[in-house]
Structure 1
Amino acid sequence: MSTALRIVLAQCNPLVGDVEGNARMILEQVRLARERMDAQLILFPELALTGYPPEDLLLRASLLGQVEAALAAIAPLIDDCHIVIGAPYRDDVGLRNGAVVLGNGREIARYAKRCLPNYSVFDEKRYFVEGTQPCVVSVAGISVGLTVCEDIWYPEPARSTCDAGAELLVNINASPFHASKYSERLETLRMRVAETGLPLIYVNQVGGQDELLFDGQSLALDGSGALILRAPSFETGLYLVPHAGGGEVTELASLEDREADAYRALVLGVRDYVRKNGFPGAVIGLSGGIDSALTLAIAVDALGAEDVLAVMMPSRYTAPMSLEDARIQCANLGVQALEIPIERPFQAFLGVLEPLLAGRPPDATEENIQARCRGVILMAISNKTGRMVLTTGNKSEMAVGYATLYGDMAGGFAPLKDVPKTLVYRLAHWRNREQSVIPERVLTRPPSAELAPDQKDSDSLPPYEVLDPILEYFVERDWSISEIVTAGYDREVVERVVGLVLHNEYKRRQAPPGVRISPRAFGKDRRYPITSGYGRAIR
């Protein structure tokens, strides 16, 4: 680049479907970028005007009409700079995932995304038609080449854009977070820079959208591949790109460790799900165990203690220490707490079912009745107060079905749905480093559902140190039983775990959504049939 083009990255958090609100947000960001940074080019994320992913809202003609109206209203107001907005639009070929350039009071260009992802959580080919042509626009005498998200993961779009005369590549994104995603992105961007010799500017969305979480971490690389800007993760903001080629480097936002990244992702995911859906707060069943303790800490960090209600629902099997620890945590966090024993409703259900239960030994039936008593209480509180119930189950439990339908699975959002039990412990320890809010005894005592006398999770499941790696291999990496056994695990244990995973798909299909933080999460990411004979033959 021969001149210092003042480029600002608008790392923003749009609301899916709120075209008018997103347009107002875009105009406010433009105003601030002009006033504070004298921006000449402002980049917004992929589909910023509709939010990402809009899914089947794209099938609504009214949404596309709102987009065109918003673009027409914004364009005359962009007269002293240029902006690139992600927006869907329809042309003679079909619906496009586009980048729209506005400047000089008018629309200058539209670019259609050329590589449409159709794997993992992405299904863009359901909606969009691929573009075929590069797009290069002139901004303050600099030829700027446009790409959208997935385009940059393949050599051809960047190469052809370079061949079309670009002096600078920009890439607008809605790239979801998962562990290790940052390093994958940086490696890919450096490959494109090495292939083209061009500086590359990458802007990413921030915020939670149902199960997906967008982490930001927008980047800028100079023509040698050196990182000259890294915006913070999980934060909105405007970030001025230093002169690419002038040796100038802004302060790079620090990289967090895996626990910090995961915890901050969960906090943002809970905050956006509750707030964007209009709930005044959250209610959580607090048992005195590790999962509900971590969920409560996340909820308070996301929403504030005043908007979180903890409900302790002891049963005849609840250990006194569980109730004590739950009370201590509520005091530590400043959370309002209710105590509602479940013995009376439990006895009432046992009485109603006595003709069926008589003469039969207690089993999971009685255990599940207790969990369902708690579910009814939490949902009643939710109905009366408007607060969303946050469930407390983790990924290990969801995988093997160690959860009760219409009991502890009853609720609106599951913060720990993609968090294995071993990571639950690490996150709890990490949170306590900042401030000791989770009692030490919760971190050290053996986990238990406390639905039967002296019950421990290990009575029903392999140790989590064994279970979690097996689940990672089978669920996230699609390894076979034989491959997992070869990695050093007992065949009988592996076969049992795999059987539980396959058998409990029907439960997971009825579970609330939760924040995706792994490369493969249950829900939108991993789609297995409920009715299947596959498990009979798998080896």
Structure 2
Amino acid sequence: MKEFGFVRTAIAVPQIKVADVSANVQAISDLIDAAEARQAAVVVFPELSVTAYTCGDLFAQSALLNRAESGVETFAAHLKNKNVLAVVGAPIPVDAGLYNCAVVLQGGRILGAVPKTHLPNSHEFYERRWFTPAASLKGTREIRYAGQDFPIGTDLLFCDCDNRDIKIGVEICEDLWAPMPPSGRLAAGGATVIVNPSSSNELIAKSEYREELVRQQSARCNAAYLYASCGIGESTTDLVFGGDGYIYEKGACLAKTERFIDGAQIVYADLDIEGLIHDRRTQTSFADESSVGEPLRQIPCRMGDFAALEREIDSAPFVPSDLAARRRRCEEIFAIQSVGLMSRLRHIGNVPMVLGISGGLDSTLALLVCAEACDRLNLSRDHIHAVTMPGFGTTDRTYHNAVDLIHGIGASFHEIGIGDAVTDHLNALGHPLDLHDVTYENAQARERTQILMDLANQVGGIVVGTGDLSELALGWATYNGDHMSMYAVNAGVPKTLVRYLVDYVADRKGSEAIRDILKDVLDTPVSPELLPPDQSGKIAQKTEDLVGPYALHDFFLYHVMRNGYGPQKVYLLAKRAFDGAYADGVIYKWLRSFYWRFFAQQFKRSCLPDGPKVGSVALSPRGDWRMPSDAKVRLWMDEVEKIEHE
């Protein structure tokens, strides 16, 4: 999995006994074996885990320090034939000082030691009584300890030889709580994974604050953050420890331990390093920081790989799975859309809005946005000129939903059939009316757009576009037909989210009559309705039969745009996300189609009308996606074809 940028990591909370080094070494060794068995590349243990953090004045006893040193030597021997990289905590004497260190070991070697930078010395903490801050090392860059020579310092990065993007930096407990955590410098210097061996005691509400620090730092550093705090075995005298641990990636929690567990525990997460690097490369402020300060020392190592991905892959990355979160997302997006339109209207004098209503999801959402913009501006909803334009493919169901919805919203109603005009136009072209090809379909779309544009001129208004983000990605729009408008309110909304937005408005903002119409619109198959209905009068032309499932296309779009993944990795993730829903061959077919369409249809995106950006994936040629219209797809298709061969 390392070839795709994945690395398996673990945080472990052993059952520690205070000052009992032999018991602690055994407890840690058992968890190292467990991590190795699960093919973890990295396992992180709590601060001072060899001795326990709460030894107090025993840290001045040579017996404890000598036994800790032999314990680290035992770890090195234990790891001799293992791939996992272990980070354990130990007190290391250097000259006249004693340093609270994270020791990094792999394959029988001590790769380096990182001393704690910030030593807490207030309230229940009294570390400066026993330890020396990292700054006191000054010119010391290498030490001999536990029978080996190795580097020491806060400037160490542990770098994988197989994947140059997997680089581990270390900070310890209080370092995270400081105004300028060392992890900021480490991340700017190339660390993609920050590990934090910690011993943080439990207080009311401290766990929430602690987790928020981890979440924020992982997001701010565009990094993965592994935080492992000691368990209840450390609890002594006045303090209780709960074994709080988290694995975060770019502000998202991948795994966490349970607090107050009586026993050892270990949790795993497969990190996506490629996704982190993509974000760093596209964030110019991150690159600015990388040139600040002295370069870090890079310590080479070879981390283990794993065979099968265990990371949870969301099949609907645009749609929060949690109901409350989804409602909040819909509320925010609907506000962005309506405020964007409101601002445009206010700027041009609160002119009327003109839009076509088909009875489908996209135009329904656009109409709801227009109504909300009117309400925000205290304008009568008859400012909206909603037009139904029945054509060759219009069904009774969509027609009646469109008519009822327009009246229910309170918009100005217009019905302008396109059948005669399109027939005259096709006859003028000498095009047979029974030849249902692209000319037949696009003539209808362009006739509708012409009606809307001319009506906008007539009433002194603007045409509000209805097309969504997914259609823009696939080019599923008629050039200079439904592709064009004067403000496109749905341009930033993917198809898989449109449905939930309409459902949100139905539940939160609609009357009972409007709610019933919206629910029926939600149940209607997605269709451009450009081909005649079937013999029973139902929709014959279903979009997803032609271009593929939007669930797949939105998944592809998200990972291609948001993370910059190549076809092989997108396919790998899709297989895991849609296991049991789509066969591998179906996923491959539509992935191939996605890439072909995405490149071939860029010319349509190069001249898009304005529209509000609502998420991190957007296709506006003025901001988020500046792709040459004539870019060749060959490189990507070569990789797609490798999937078929393999």
| Whole-Å separation in 2 of the counterparts to 1:416 and 1:444 | 20
2:528 is aligned with 1:449? yes
Cα separation, partners in 2 of 1:358 and 1:337, compared to 1, 3 Å: closer
**Aligned residue number for residue 461 of structure 1:** 547
Q: What's the offset of the Cα at 1:337?
A: 0.8
**Aligned residue number for residue 64 of structure 1:** none
Contact 1:448–1:457 under 8 Å retained in 2: yes
| Whole-Å separation in 2 of the counterparts to 1:416 and 1:460 | 22
Q: Deviations over 1:85-115 (max 9, x none)?
A: xxxxxxxxxxxxxxxxxxxxxxxxxxxxxxx
| Whole-Å separation in 2 of the counterparts to 1:255 and 1:533 | 37
Cα separation, partners in 2 of 1:381 and 1:493, compared to 1, 3 Å: same
Q: What's the offset of the Cα at 1:498?
A: 1.3
Aligned amino acid, residue 303 of structure 1: C
| Whole-Å separation in 2 of the counterparts to 1:528 and 1:320 | 41
Cα separation, partners in 2 of 1:477 and 1:450, compared to 1, 3 Å: same
Cα separation, partners in 2 of 1:535 and 1:273, compared to 1, 3 Å: farther
Cα separation, partners in 2 of 1:528 and 1:344, compared to 1, 3 Å: same
Residue correspondence of structure 1 range 412-491 to structure 2 within 5 A:
412-434=486-508, 435-436=510-511, 437=514, 439=517, 440-453=519-532, 454-487=540-573, 488=575, 490-491=587-588
**Aligned residue number for residue 379 of structure 1:** 453
Contact 2:596–2:633 under 8 Å retained in 1: no
2:596 is aligned with 1:525? no
**Aligned residue number for residue 320 of structure 1:** 396
| Whole-Å separation in 1 of the counterparts to 2:217 and 2:334 | 26
| Whole-Å separation in 2 of the counterparts to 1:320 and 1:359 | 22
**Aligned residue number for residue 440 of structure 2:** 366
| Whole-Å separation in 2 of the counterparts to 1:410 and 1:277 | 19
| Whole-Å separation in 2 of the counterparts to 1:459 and 1:262 | 28
| Whole-Å separation in 2 of the counterparts to 1:332 and 1:406 | 30
**Aligned residue number for residue 154 of structure 2:** none
Q: What's the offset of the Cα at 1:349?
A: 0.7
Cα separation, partners in 2 of 1:328 and 1:537, compared to 1, 3 Å: closer
Query: Which is worse superposed, 468-477 or 369-378?
Result: 468-477
Contact 1:499–1:535 under 8 Å retained in 2: no
Q: What's the offset of the Cα at 1:360?
A: 8.9
| Whole-Å separation in 1 of the counterparts to 2:433 and 2:502 | 43
Contact 1:317–1:451 under 8 Å retained in 2: yes
Q: What's the offset of the Cα at 1:282?
A: 0.8
| Whole-Å separation in 2 of the counterparts to 1:289 and 1:303 | 22
Cα separation, partners in 2 of 1:155 and 1:365, compared to 1, 3 Å: same
Of the three residues 484, 491, 499, the one matched with 2:596 is 499
Contact 1:281–1:303 under 8 Å retained in 2: no
Residue correspondence of structure 1 range 107-506 to structure 2 within 5 A:
187=216, 257-304=328-375, 305-354=381-430, 357-358=431-432, 361-434=435-508, 435-436=510-511, 437=514, 439=517, 440-453=519-532, 454-487=540-573, 488=575, 490-506=587-603
Q: What's the offset of the Cα at 1:504?
A: 0.5
Contact 2:566–2:636 under 8 Å retained in 1: no
Q: Deviations over 1:270-303 (max 9, x none)?
A: 1112222335121110011111011000111012
Contact 1:285–1:313 under 8 Å retained in 2: yes
Cα separation, partners in 2 of 1:537 and 1:322, compared to 1, 3 Å: closer
| Whole-Å separation in 1 of the counterparts to 2:327 and 2:347 | 26
Aligned amino acid, residue 385 of structure 1: V
**Aligned residue number for residue 227 of structure 1:** none
Contact 1:397–1:403 under 8 Å retained in 2: yes
**Partner secondary structure for residue 355 of structure 2:** strand
| Whole-Å separation in 1 of the counterparts to 2:352 and 2:360 | 22
Contact 2:595–2:633 under 8 Å retained in 1: no
**Aligned residue number for residue 18 of structure 1:** none
| Whole-Å separation in 2 of the counterparts to 1:458 and 1:278 | 40
Q: What's the offset of the Cα at 1:308?
A: 1.0
| Whole-Å separation in 2 of the counterparts to 1:303 and 1:409 | 24
Contact 2:552–2:590 under 8 Å retained in 1: no
Cα separation, partners in 2 of 1:408 and 1:271, compared to 1, 3 Å: same
Contact 2:352–2:461 under 8 Å retained in 1: yes
Contact 1:279–1:388 under 8 Å retained in 2: no
**Partner secondary structure for residue 406 of structure 1:** coil
Q: Deviations over 1:132-156 (max 9, x none)?
A: xxxxxxxxxxxxxxxxxxxxxx979
| Whole-Å separation in 2 of the counterparts to 1:190 and 1:417 | 27
Q: What's the offset of the Cα at 1:477?
A: 2.1
| Whole-Å separation in 2 of the counterparts to 1:359 and 1:287 | 22
Q: Percent of counterpart pairs with the same letter?
A: 27
| Whole-Å separation in 1 of the counterparts to 2:327 and 2:429 | 53
Aligned amino acid, residue 320 of structure 1: D
Q: Deviations over 1:63-86 (max 9, x none)?
A: xxxxxxxxxxxxxxxxxxxxxxxx
Q: What's the offset of the Cα at 1:331?
A: 2.1
Gaps of 5+ in 1: 1-153, 157-182, 193-253
| Whole-Å separation in 2 of the counterparts to 1:189 and 1:413 | 37
Q: What's the offset of the Cα at 1:532?
A: 1.5
Q: Deviations over 1:334-356 (max 9, x none)?
A: 111100000111011111111xx
Aligned amino acid, residue 500 of structure 1: R
Contact 2:595–2:636 under 8 Å retained in 1: no
**Partner secondary structure for residue 525 of structure 2:** coil
Q: Deviations over 1:413-456 (max 9, x none)?
A: 11111111110000000001122435121111111110003111
Aligned amino acid, residue 361 of structure 2: I
**Partner secondary structure for residue 626 of structure 2:** coil
Aligned amino acid, residue 408 of structure 1: D
Q: What's the offset of the Cα at 1:475?
A: 2.4
| Whole-Å separation in 1 of the counterparts to 2:326 and 2:420 | 51
| Whole-Å separation in 2 of the counterparts to 1:274 and 1:334 | 19
**Partner secondary structure for residue 485 of structure 1:** helix
| Whole-Å separation in 2 of the counterparts to 1:191 and 1:498 | 32
Aligned amino acid, residue 516 of structure 1: K
Contact 1:481–1:491 under 8 Å retained in 2: no
| Whole-Å separation in 1 of the counterparts to 2:433 and 2:463 | 37
| Whole-Å separation in 2 of the counterparts to 1:313 and 1:265 | 28
**Aligned residue number for residue 536 of structure 2:** none
Cα separation, partners in 2 of 1:286 and 1:155, compared to 1, 3 Å: same
* Aligned-residue CA RMSD (Å): 2.9
